[in-house]
Structure 1
């Protein structure tokens, strides 16, 4: 992503040791993100999922690579346009998945 001039913060959002209300309020503001919620650092990750237009569309995906693959499937199945700030990264993901 850095090589393509895009920031990882535009695609991934990690929430460490925060309350559920603040996470829900922040996710409502997101256009397209892969998120990770970790409520207690000793217990590991609680949830990894995808939010599109402020709505959680997939949850409990287990890991970031799976979430990225699912995001590509969702953008294709729903015929969504890539966000401007992630255009090059998601185009690279698309090329990797088609080969």
Structure 2
């Protein structure tokens, strides 16, 4: 998934780039906003069309991209996916594996 960032991109140029994008996550930020700021709009592009808009953060966009594409997550990274799904998105959050529970507790300290 290619990533583009520019503080001087106008709307038409950004729209043109989005139309050329096969699969990706986009973040639209007002000019002068820092990289860590959440952004004005976050969404998912598939075949040049924004199929999901107004997502709360990039982590949610990554997880939803997996669901949108019906991708299987690598088994050696299953705890990462569990963390995305259960901790960040709050889906079935009461049933955590021990490893994810420990990480969640450390983050909440």
Q: Which runs of 4+ in 1 moved over 3 A?
A: 11-17, 90-99
* Aligned counterparts of 2:43 and 2:21: Cα–Cα separation in 1: 13
Q: Does 1:25 align with 2:9?
A: no
Unaligned runs of 5+ in 2: 83-96, 98-109
Mark the structure with the bigger radius of gyration: 2
1:19-76 per-residue CA deviation (whole Å, 9 max, x = no partner) reads: 1111100000111101111122349511110000000000110211100111111112
Alignment of 1:81-92 (within 5 A): 91-92=73-74
* Aligned counterparts of 1:58 and 1:19: Cα–Cα separation in 2: 21
TM-score normalised by the chain length of structure 1: 0.62
Q: RMSD of aligned C-alpha atoms?
A: 2.9
Which among 64, 72, 76 is matched to residue 70 of structure 1? 64
Contact 1:13 1:33 in 2 (8 A): no
Q: Does 1:97 align with 2:70?
A: no
Which structure has the higher relative contact order (CA within 8 Å, separation 6+)? 1
